[in-house]
Amino acid sequence: MVGSGEGDSSVAEAVGRELAAGGAVVVCGGLGGVMEAACRGAKEAGGHTVGILPGPDRAAANPFVDTAIPTGLGEARNALVVRAADALIAVGGGYGTLSEIALALKAGKRVVGLDSWDIEGVVAVADPAAAVAAVLGESLT
């Protein structure tokens, strides 16, 4: 399972598609932008998506979220996205994404970055296929 944040939508869609193709559930913050793109990609590949929302209302989830969890916790829900994930693929560079990177590294989880923050511990990769391979532990050959 993997969460993601702000960034390039076509990249995020490809990440979602590859994750689902690899058998992973896509976990994210459930809103629009990159989160929606990742969910859309996962659904194209027949995957399952989980959106852990900041607000109290399930209706705020993007239309590609299968299981919406309306936490009502605001940004504190970022900690829940990280807990629900086995590893994190960070796409792009918002501060919300940075908080998830930090919490995942603190928890000892693998963090892979695609055009994201240059933080010690983040594995920077060049494209969605490499990101998903790094997370799912498959060989790249």
Q: Which of 21, 121, 127, 129 binds a second copy (CB under 8 A)?
A: 121
Window of 14-22, 32-40, 76-84, 133-141 that interacts with a second copy by CB under 8 A: 76-84
Exposed (0-12), middle (13-18) or buried (19+): which is 106, by Cβ within 10 Å? Answer: exposed
Q: Does 71 bind a second copy (CB under 8 A)?
A: yes
Q: How far is the CB of 68 from a second copy (least distance, A)?
A: 8
Of the candidates 80, 77, 8, the residue with the CA atom closest to the CA atom of residue 41: 8
Helices 77-84, 95-106: axis angle to 10 degrees equals 50
CB-nearer residue toward a second copy: 86 or 127: 86
Would you say 21 or 79 has its CB closer to a second copy?
A: 79
**Binding residue (CB under 8 A) for a second copy from 10, 32, 76, 138:** 76
103 binds a second copy (CB under 8 A): yes
Phi, psi (5° rounding) for residue 125?
A: -125, 170
Q: Closer CB to a second copy, residue 64 or residue 117?
A: 117
Among 68, 76, 70, CA closest to 57: 70
The DSSP annotation for 15-43 comes to HHHHHHHTTPPEEE--SSTHHHHHHHHHH
Q: Under the criterion CB under 8 A, does residue 50 sit at the interface with a second copy? A: yes
24 vs 52, beta carbon nearer a second copy: 52
58 makes contact with a second copy (CB under 8 A): yes
